[in-house]
Amino acid sequence: MKITALNGFKDIVPGEVELWQKVETAARDIFSRFNFSEIRMPILEKTELFARSIGETTDIVEKEMYTFIDKQITMRPEATASLLRAYIQHGLHVQKPVQRLFTIGPMFRHERPQMGRLRQFHQMDVEVIGAQNPRVDAELMAMGAMLLEELGVTVSLELNSLGCPACRPGFRKTLLDFIEDRYEALCDDCKRRSNTNPLRVLDCKNPSCRAQVVEAPSIQEHLCQECSDHFAVVQKGLQQLGVSYSLNKFMVRGLDYYTRTTFEFITGDLGAQAAVGAGGRYDGLIEQLGGPKVPGIGFALGMERLVLLLQQKKGAETVQGEMDLFVAGLGETASHFVFPLVHALRRKGLQVAMDHEGRSLKSQMKQANKAGAHYVLIVGEAELEQGQAVLRNMDDQKQTDIEIGTGIDKLSQSLLEICKPLDKFSDILTKRI
Protein backbone atom coordinates (compact mmCIF):
# COMPACT_ATOMS: atom_id res chain seq x y z
CA MET A 1 0.00 0.00 0.00
CA LYS A 2 1.31 3.36 -1.00
CA ILE A 3 1.66 5.98 1.69
CA THR A 4 0.41 9.37 0.64
CA ALA A 5 0.14 12.72 2.37
CA LEU A 6 -2.89 13.29 4.56
CA ASN A 7 -6.02 14.63 2.99
CA GLY A 8 -5.78 18.40 2.98
CA PHE A 9 -1.99 18.37 3.37
CA LYS A 10 0.17 19.20 0.39
CA ASP A 11 3.78 18.94 -0.67
CA ILE A 12 5.26 21.97 -2.36
CA VAL A 13 7.58 20.50 -4.95
CA PRO A 14 10.42 22.02 -6.99
CA GLY A 15 8.97 24.09 -9.81
CA GLU A 16 6.22 25.29 -7.52
CA VAL A 17 8.28 26.22 -4.51
CA GLU A 18 9.84 29.07 -6.49
CA LEU A 19 6.48 30.83 -6.56
CA TRP A 20 6.25 30.51 -2.80
CA GLN A 21 9.70 32.01 -2.48
CA LYS A 22 8.66 34.85 -4.72
CA VAL A 23 5.63 35.57 -2.55
CA GLU A 24 7.69 35.44 0.62
CA THR A 25 10.49 37.56 -0.76
CA ALA A 26 8.09 40.24 -1.95
CA ALA A 27 6.30 40.22 1.39
CA ARG A 28 9.47 40.52 3.45
CA ASP A 29 10.60 43.37 1.25
CA ILE A 30 7.35 45.30 1.62
CA PHE A 31 6.98 44.58 5.32
CA SER A 32 10.44 45.91 6.00
CA ARG A 33 9.69 49.04 3.98
CA PHE A 34 6.84 49.62 6.40
CA ASN A 35 9.15 49.01 9.37
CA PHE A 36 7.81 45.63 10.47
CA SER A 37 9.93 43.08 12.35
CA GLU A 38 9.62 39.36 12.01
CA ILE A 39 8.58 37.20 14.94
CA ARG A 40 8.31 33.41 14.95
CA MET A 41 6.17 31.46 17.34
CA PRO A 42 5.70 27.76 18.00
CA ILE A 43 2.98 25.93 16.15
CA LEU A 44 1.60 24.33 19.30
CA GLU A 45 -0.10 26.36 22.00
CA LYS A 46 -2.32 25.68 24.95
CA THR A 47 -5.85 25.06 23.74
CA GLU A 48 -7.14 27.70 26.10
CA LEU A 49 -5.35 30.46 24.19
CA PHE A 50 -7.45 29.92 21.10
CA ALA A 51 -10.66 29.31 22.98
CA ARG A 52 -10.26 32.65 24.73
CA SER A 53 -9.21 34.70 21.73
CA ILE A 54 -11.06 33.27 18.74
CA GLY A 55 -14.22 32.57 20.70
CA GLU A 56 -15.54 29.50 22.48
CA THR A 57 -18.52 29.15 20.20
CA THR A 58 -16.88 29.71 16.83
CA ASP A 59 -16.74 26.81 14.41
CA ILE A 60 -12.97 26.97 14.49
CA VAL A 61 -12.78 26.32 18.19
CA GLU A 62 -15.75 24.00 18.41
CA LYS A 63 -14.88 21.56 15.68
CA GLU A 64 -11.96 22.53 13.46
CA MET A 65 -8.91 22.54 15.71
CA TYR A 66 -6.27 19.84 15.78
CA THR A 67 -6.08 19.28 19.51
CA PHE A 68 -4.23 16.74 21.62
CA ILE A 69 -7.08 16.37 24.05
CA ASP A 70 -5.16 14.61 26.80
CA LYS A 71 -2.50 17.32 26.84
CA GLN A 72 -4.82 20.28 26.20
CA ILE A 73 -2.59 21.62 23.44
CA THR A 74 -3.62 22.66 19.95
CA MET A 75 -1.96 23.24 16.59
CA ARG A 76 -2.61 26.89 15.87
CA PRO A 77 -5.57 27.59 13.58
CA GLU A 78 -4.44 31.20 13.07
CA ALA A 79 -1.51 33.36 14.02
CA THR A 80 -2.87 36.37 15.85
CA ALA A 81 -3.54 34.63 19.16
CA SER A 82 -0.04 33.12 19.28
CA LEU A 83 1.57 36.37 18.28
CA LEU A 84 -0.24 38.31 20.99
CA ARG A 85 0.64 35.64 23.52
CA ALA A 86 4.30 36.10 22.63
CA TYR A 87 3.93 39.87 22.75
CA ILE A 88 2.48 39.70 26.24
CA GLN A 89 4.86 37.01 27.48
CA HIS A 90 7.96 38.97 26.53
CA GLY A 91 6.62 42.33 27.62
CA LEU A 92 7.19 43.80 24.20
CA HIS A 93 4.97 46.78 25.04
CA VAL A 94 7.67 48.00 27.41
CA GLN A 95 10.33 48.01 24.72
CA LYS A 96 8.35 50.13 22.28
CA PRO A 97 4.97 51.81 22.58
CA VAL A 98 3.98 50.52 19.16
CA GLN A 99 5.09 47.12 17.91
CA ARG A 100 4.89 46.29 14.24
CA LEU A 101 5.27 42.55 13.80
CA PHE A 102 4.81 39.99 11.08
CA THR A 103 5.06 36.23 10.93
CA ILE A 104 4.90 33.66 8.15
CA GLY A 105 4.02 30.03 8.63
CA PRO A 106 1.59 27.12 8.62
CA MET A 107 -1.81 27.03 10.29
CA PHE A 108 -4.08 24.05 10.81
CA ARG A 109 -7.83 23.66 10.60
CA HIS A 110 -9.75 20.43 10.23
CA GLU A 111 -12.15 21.56 7.51
CA ARG A 112 -13.13 19.77 4.34
CA PRO A 113 -10.51 20.78 1.80
CA GLN A 114 -11.47 22.54 -1.39
CA MET A 115 -9.87 24.92 -3.82
CA GLY A 116 -7.69 27.36 -1.92
CA ARG A 117 -8.49 25.75 1.40
CA LEU A 118 -6.31 23.10 2.96
CA ARG A 119 -6.02 21.62 6.42
CA GLN A 120 -2.46 22.80 6.66
CA PHE A 121 -2.37 26.20 5.05
CA HIS A 122 0.06 29.07 5.18
CA GLN A 123 -0.45 32.65 6.13
CA MET A 124 1.55 35.81 6.23
CA ASP A 125 0.28 37.62 9.26
CA VAL A 126 0.86 41.27 10.09
CA GLU A 127 -0.03 43.00 13.35
CA VAL A 128 0.35 46.52 14.72
CA ILE A 129 0.00 46.53 18.48
CA GLY A 130 -0.37 49.73 20.48
CA ALA A 131 -1.62 52.04 17.75
CA GLN A 132 -4.99 53.68 18.18
CA ASN A 133 -4.85 56.10 15.27
CA PRO A 134 -7.18 55.22 12.39
CA ARG A 135 -4.50 56.25 9.95
CA VAL A 136 -2.69 53.09 10.94
CA ASP A 137 -5.70 51.10 9.75
CA ALA A 138 -5.43 52.81 6.40
CA GLU A 139 -1.67 52.36 6.32
CA LEU A 140 -2.03 48.61 6.88
CA MET A 141 -4.57 48.20 4.12
CA ALA A 142 -2.38 50.26 1.83
CA MET A 143 0.53 47.96 2.61
CA GLY A 144 -1.53 44.89 1.75
CA ALA A 145 -2.68 46.52 -1.47
CA MET A 146 0.91 47.42 -2.34
CA LEU A 147 2.11 43.87 -1.87
CA LEU A 148 -0.70 42.41 -3.94
CA GLU A 149 -0.07 44.97 -6.64
CA GLU A 150 3.66 44.21 -6.77
CA LEU A 151 2.85 40.52 -7.05
CA GLY A 152 0.59 41.39 -9.95
CA VAL A 153 -2.64 39.98 -8.54
CA THR A 154 -5.81 41.96 -8.95
CA VAL A 155 -8.11 42.17 -5.98
CA SER A 156 -10.68 44.54 -4.60
CA LEU A 157 -10.66 45.88 -1.07
CA GLU A 158 -13.87 45.77 0.89
CA LEU A 159 -14.29 47.69 4.09
CA ASN A 160 -16.66 47.71 7.01
CA SER A 161 -16.79 48.66 10.65
CA LEU A 162 -18.15 46.32 13.29
CA GLY A 163 -18.39 48.97 15.99
CA CYS A 164 -17.26 48.44 19.53
CA PRO A 165 -18.72 47.04 22.76
CA ALA A 166 -20.51 50.37 23.18
CA CYS A 167 -22.46 50.33 19.93
CA ARG A 168 -22.48 46.82 18.55
CA PRO A 169 -25.02 45.39 21.03
CA GLY A 170 -27.48 48.10 20.04
CA PHE A 171 -27.08 47.32 16.37
CA ARG A 172 -27.35 43.65 17.06
CA LYS A 173 -30.72 44.25 18.59
CA THR A 174 -31.87 46.39 15.68
CA LEU A 175 -30.76 43.70 13.30
CA LEU A 176 -32.47 40.95 15.27
CA ASP A 177 -35.73 42.84 15.10
CA PHE A 178 -35.31 43.11 11.35
CA ILE A 179 -34.54 39.40 11.03
CA GLU A 180 -37.42 38.47 13.28
CA ASP A 181 -39.91 39.93 10.79
CA ARG A 182 -38.49 37.79 7.99
CA TYR A 183 -37.51 34.73 9.97
CA GLU A 184 -39.76 32.30 8.06
CA ALA A 185 -38.35 33.39 4.70
CA LEU A 186 -34.80 32.55 5.66
CA CYS A 187 -32.93 29.35 4.86
CA ASP A 188 -32.30 26.78 7.58
CA ASP A 189 -28.72 27.89 7.99
CA CYS A 190 -29.81 31.46 8.55
CA LYS A 191 -32.44 30.45 11.06
CA ARG A 192 -29.66 28.81 12.99
CA ARG A 193 -27.38 31.79 12.47
CA SER A 194 -29.93 34.26 13.77
CA ASN A 195 -29.52 32.56 17.13
CA THR A 196 -25.78 31.99 17.11
CA ASN A 197 -24.38 34.90 15.12
CA PRO A 198 -27.04 37.17 13.60
CA LEU A 199 -24.48 39.26 11.74
CA ARG A 200 -23.74 36.16 9.68
CA VAL A 201 -27.19 36.27 8.16
CA LEU A 202 -26.02 39.33 6.32
CA ASP A 203 -23.52 37.47 4.18
CA CYS A 204 -25.48 34.30 3.43
CA LYS A 205 -24.96 33.08 -0.12
CA ASN A 206 -28.50 31.90 -0.56
CA PRO A 207 -30.18 34.23 -3.13
CA SER A 208 -33.48 34.35 -1.32
CA CYS A 209 -31.77 35.30 1.92
CA ARG A 210 -29.84 37.95 0.08
CA ALA A 211 -33.07 39.39 -1.21
CA GLN A 212 -34.50 39.47 2.28
CA VAL A 213 -31.45 41.18 3.64
CA VAL A 214 -30.98 43.91 1.05
CA GLU A 215 -32.90 46.39 3.14
CA ALA A 216 -31.28 45.31 6.38
CA PRO A 217 -30.06 48.08 8.66
CA SER A 218 -26.44 49.02 8.08
CA ILE A 219 -24.06 48.86 10.98
CA GLN A 220 -22.24 51.79 9.48
CA GLU A 221 -25.23 53.95 10.35
CA HIS A 222 -25.46 52.65 13.89
CA LEU A 223 -21.94 53.33 15.07
CA CYS A 224 -21.30 55.35 18.19
CA GLN A 225 -19.62 58.72 17.77
CA GLU A 226 -16.10 57.42 18.45
CA CYS A 227 -16.46 54.49 16.06
CA SER A 228 -18.04 56.68 13.43
CA ASP A 229 -15.20 59.20 13.67
CA HIS A 230 -12.66 56.41 13.52
CA PHE A 231 -14.28 54.93 10.43
CA ALA A 232 -14.31 58.32 8.71
CA VAL A 233 -10.60 58.87 9.29
CA VAL A 234 -9.80 55.36 8.02
CA GLN A 235 -11.56 56.16 4.78
CA LYS A 236 -9.96 59.57 4.55
CA GLY A 237 -6.58 57.91 5.00
CA LEU A 238 -7.24 55.39 2.23
CA GLN A 239 -8.16 58.23 -0.07
CA GLN A 240 -4.99 60.12 0.84
CA LEU A 241 -2.92 57.05 -0.03
CA GLY A 242 -4.79 56.45 -3.25
CA VAL A 243 -6.12 53.05 -2.21
CA SER A 244 -9.43 52.25 -3.81
CA TYR A 245 -11.98 50.39 -1.72
CA SER A 246 -15.66 49.80 -1.45
CA LEU A 247 -17.89 49.76 1.59
CA ASN A 248 -19.61 46.49 2.34
CA LYS A 249 -22.14 46.64 5.11
CA PHE A 250 -22.67 42.90 4.82
CA MET A 251 -19.11 41.95 5.56
CA VAL A 252 -18.76 40.09 8.82
CA ARG A 253 -15.83 38.49 10.53
CA GLY A 254 -15.61 34.94 11.70
CA LEU A 255 -13.56 35.56 14.78
CA ASP A 256 -15.08 37.06 17.89
CA TYR A 257 -12.31 39.47 18.72
CA TYR A 258 -12.75 42.01 15.94
CA THR A 259 -13.85 45.57 16.66
CA ARG A 260 -14.32 48.57 14.43
CA THR A 261 -12.35 48.31 11.16
CA THR A 262 -12.65 45.05 9.21
CA PHE A 263 -11.56 44.48 5.66
CA GLU A 264 -11.00 41.82 3.02
CA PHE A 265 -9.01 41.60 -0.16
CA ILE A 266 -11.37 39.81 -2.55
CA THR A 267 -10.83 38.00 -5.84
CA GLY A 268 -13.26 36.31 -8.17
CA ASP A 269 -10.73 33.81 -9.47
CA LEU A 270 -10.57 31.27 -6.65
CA GLY A 271 -13.93 29.57 -6.74
CA ALA A 272 -15.70 29.86 -3.44
CA GLN A 273 -12.66 31.07 -1.58
CA ALA A 274 -12.86 34.72 -2.47
CA ALA A 275 -10.75 36.20 0.30
CA VAL A 276 -7.04 36.44 -0.42
CA GLY A 277 -6.48 38.35 2.77
CA ALA A 278 -8.55 39.68 5.61
CA GLY A 279 -8.18 41.37 8.92
CA GLY A 280 -9.30 44.09 11.23
CA ARG A 281 -8.99 45.82 14.54
CA TYR A 282 -9.15 44.00 17.87
CA ASP A 283 -8.94 46.67 20.51
CA GLY A 284 -9.98 44.64 23.56
CA LEU A 285 -8.20 41.40 22.83
CA ILE A 286 -4.77 41.98 24.29
CA GLU A 287 -6.17 43.00 27.63
CA GLN A 288 -8.55 40.08 27.50
CA LEU A 289 -5.58 37.74 27.12
CA GLY A 290 -3.99 39.17 30.25
CA GLY A 291 -1.83 41.78 28.59
CA PRO A 292 -1.62 45.56 28.82
CA LYS A 293 -4.57 47.68 27.77
CA VAL A 294 -3.43 48.42 24.25
CA PRO A 295 -5.27 48.33 20.93
CA GLY A 296 -4.30 46.20 17.97
CA ILE A 297 -4.98 45.72 14.30
CA GLY A 298 -3.76 43.22 11.77
CA PHE A 299 -4.48 41.06 8.79
CA ALA A 300 -3.50 37.75 7.25
CA LEU A 301 -2.81 36.80 3.66
CA GLY A 302 -3.51 33.25 2.49
CA MET A 303 -0.40 32.03 0.71
CA GLU A 304 -2.01 29.09 -1.07
CA ARG A 305 -4.49 31.52 -2.53
CA LEU A 306 -1.79 33.94 -3.61
CA VAL A 307 0.18 31.15 -5.27
CA LEU A 308 -2.94 29.91 -7.05
CA LEU A 309 -3.53 33.39 -8.41
CA LEU A 310 0.07 33.62 -9.61
CA GLN A 311 -0.23 30.24 -11.29
CA GLN A 312 -3.38 31.33 -13.06
CA LYS A 313 -1.67 34.29 -14.61
CA LYS A 314 -0.75 33.82 -18.23
CA GLY A 315 2.66 32.40 -18.98
CA ALA A 316 2.97 30.77 -15.61
CA GLU A 317 5.32 28.16 -16.97
CA THR A 318 7.31 26.21 -14.45
CA VAL A 319 10.46 27.93 -13.46
CA GLN A 320 13.66 26.59 -14.92
CA GLY A 321 16.76 26.44 -12.78
CA GLU A 322 20.15 27.82 -13.68
CA MET A 323 23.71 27.10 -12.69
CA ASP A 324 27.09 28.56 -13.46
CA LEU A 325 29.01 25.49 -14.50
CA PHE A 326 28.64 21.80 -15.21
CA VAL A 327 31.83 19.77 -15.11
CA ALA A 328 31.80 16.72 -17.39
CA GLY A 329 34.46 14.20 -16.55
CA LEU A 330 34.85 11.39 -19.07
CA GLY A 331 36.03 8.12 -17.66
CA GLU A 332 37.25 7.16 -14.23
CA THR A 333 40.57 9.04 -14.32
CA ALA A 334 38.94 12.28 -15.37
CA SER A 335 36.14 11.91 -12.83
CA HIS A 336 38.73 11.36 -10.15
CA PHE A 337 40.47 14.59 -11.15
CA VAL A 338 37.27 16.57 -11.45
CA PHE A 339 35.72 15.56 -8.13
CA PRO A 340 37.84 17.85 -5.91
CA LEU A 341 37.79 20.60 -8.56
CA VAL A 342 34.00 20.83 -8.33
CA HIS A 343 34.30 21.08 -4.58
CA ALA A 344 36.89 23.85 -4.80
CA LEU A 345 34.69 25.82 -7.19
CA ARG A 346 31.69 25.50 -4.93
CA ARG A 347 33.79 26.74 -2.06
CA LYS A 348 34.57 29.82 -4.13
CA GLY A 349 30.89 30.49 -4.69
CA LEU A 350 30.09 29.00 -8.06
CA GLN A 351 27.03 26.85 -8.58
CA VAL A 352 28.50 23.68 -9.99
CA ALA A 353 27.24 20.20 -10.76
CA MET A 354 28.79 17.03 -12.08
CA ASP A 355 27.66 13.54 -12.97
CA HIS A 356 28.67 10.64 -10.76
CA GLU A 357 27.15 7.81 -12.77
CA GLY A 358 29.78 7.51 -15.48
CA ARG A 359 27.42 8.54 -18.23
CA SER A 360 28.36 9.42 -21.78
CA LEU A 361 29.36 12.94 -22.73
CA LYS A 362 26.14 13.32 -24.67
CA SER A 363 24.16 12.37 -21.60
CA GLN A 364 26.14 14.78 -19.45
CA MET A 365 25.58 17.58 -21.96
CA LYS A 366 21.88 16.88 -21.75
CA GLN A 367 22.00 17.06 -18.00
CA ALA A 368 23.90 20.34 -18.17
CA ASN A 369 21.39 21.76 -20.61
CA LYS A 370 18.44 20.71 -18.51
CA ALA A 371 20.01 22.18 -15.41
CA GLY A 372 20.47 25.49 -17.20
CA ALA A 373 24.26 25.50 -16.97
CA HIS A 374 25.87 28.49 -18.61
CA TYR A 375 29.22 26.72 -19.05
CA VAL A 376 30.36 23.13 -19.32
CA LEU A 377 33.94 22.14 -18.59
CA ILE A 378 34.78 19.00 -20.51
CA VAL A 379 37.63 16.96 -19.08
CA GLY A 380 38.54 13.76 -20.91
CA GLU A 381 41.46 11.41 -20.88
CA ALA A 382 43.05 13.23 -23.82
CA GLU A 383 42.77 16.62 -22.16
CA LEU A 384 44.25 15.30 -18.95
CA GLU A 385 47.33 14.08 -20.76
CA GLN A 386 47.81 17.42 -22.49
CA GLY A 387 47.05 19.42 -19.36
CA GLN A 388 44.06 21.02 -21.05
CA ALA A 389 40.29 21.01 -20.87
CA VAL A 390 37.53 22.43 -23.03
CA LEU A 391 35.27 25.13 -21.67
CA ARG A 392 32.04 25.39 -23.62
CA ASN A 393 29.74 28.38 -23.38
CA MET A 394 26.29 26.85 -23.54
CA ASP A 395 24.63 30.08 -24.52
CA ASP A 396 26.71 30.94 -27.61
CA GLN A 397 28.24 27.48 -28.20
CA LYS A 398 31.80 28.82 -28.29
CA GLN A 399 34.52 26.59 -26.90
CA THR A 400 37.93 27.54 -25.58
CA ASP A 401 40.82 25.49 -24.27
CA ILE A 402 41.81 26.06 -20.70
CA GLU A 403 44.96 25.03 -18.81
CA ILE A 404 44.41 22.40 -16.16
CA GLY A 405 47.98 21.34 -15.56
CA THR A 406 48.60 24.18 -13.15
CA GLY A 407 46.74 22.75 -10.19
CA ILE A 408 43.21 23.00 -8.96
CA ASP A 409 43.64 26.32 -7.20
CA LYS A 410 44.73 28.18 -10.28
CA LEU A 411 42.22 26.42 -12.48
CA SER A 412 39.33 27.17 -10.22
CA GLN A 413 40.45 30.79 -10.02
CA SER A 414 40.34 31.23 -13.76
CA LEU A 415 37.02 29.42 -14.04
CA LEU A 416 35.67 31.67 -11.35
CA GLU A 417 36.68 34.70 -13.36
CA ILE A 418 35.05 33.39 -16.49
CA CYS A 419 31.82 32.17 -14.96
CA LYS A 420 31.13 34.78 -12.34
CA PRO A 421 30.66 37.87 -14.54
CA LEU A 422 27.68 36.08 -15.96
CA ASP A 423 26.23 35.65 -12.54
CA LYS A 424 23.23 37.85 -12.74
CA PHE A 425 21.63 34.77 -11.40
CA SER A 426 19.25 36.26 -8.93
CA ASP A 427 18.06 38.96 -11.32
CA ILE A 428 17.42 36.48 -14.06
CA LEU A 429 15.65 34.12 -11.72
CA THR A 430 13.44 36.87 -10.40
CA LYS A 431 12.48 37.96 -13.88
CA ARG A 432 11.73 34.46 -15.02
CA ILE A 433 9.32 33.94 -12.18
Partner RNA sequence: GUGGGUGUAGCUCAGCUGGUGGUAGCACCUGGUUGUGGCCCAGGAGGUCGUGGGUUCAAGUCCCAUCACUCACCCCA
Catalog residues that contact RNA under the rule CB under 7 A. 1, 4-8, 58-60, 64, 78, 109, 111-118, 121, 123, 189, 193, 200, 204-206, 252-255, 264, 271-278, 300-302, 304-305, 330, 359-363, 365-370, 376, 378, 380-383, 390, 392, 394-395, 397, 399
Which of 169, 271 has the CB closer to RNA? 271
Which of 147, 376 has the CB closer to RNA? 376
Minimum distance from residue 389 beta carbon to RNA (Å):
8
Which of 207, 242 has the CB closer to RNA? 207
Minimum distance from residue 364 beta carbon to RNA (Å):
8
| Sign of the dihedral through C-alpha 87, 93, 96, 97 | positive
Which of 27, 301 has the CB closer to RNA? 301
Minimum distance from residue 122 beta carbon to RNA (Å):
7
Which of 6, 94 has the CB closer to RNA? 6
Which of 206, 218 has the CB closer to RNA? 206
Minimum distance from residue 175 beta carbon to RNA (Å):
15
Closest listed residue to residue 349, CA positions, set 399, 420, 283, 292: 420
Minimum distance from residue 7 beta carbon to RNA (Å):
3
Count the residues in the chain.
Answer: 433
Could you give the C-alpha distances from 88 to 44, 80, 92, 256, in angstroms and in order? 17, 12, 7, 20
What is the CB neighbour count within 10 angstroms for residue 387?
11
Report how far residue 377's alpha carbon sits from residue 364's, in angstroms, rounded to the nearest whole number: 11
* 246 within 8 A of 157, measured Cβ to Cβ: yes
Minimum distance from residue 94 beta carbon to RNA (Å):
29
Minimum distance from residue 381 beta carbon to RNA (Å):
6
At how many degrees (to 10) do helices 134-151 and 17-33 cross?
150
Strand partners, 58: none
* 270 within 8 A of 276, measured Cβ to Cβ: yes
* 213 within 8 A of 202, measured Cβ to Cβ: yes
List strand residue ranges (DSSP E) for 130-248, in order: 156-161, 246-247
At how many degrees (to 10) do helices 134-151 and 225-240 cross?
40
Which of 121, 231 has the CB closer to RNA? 121
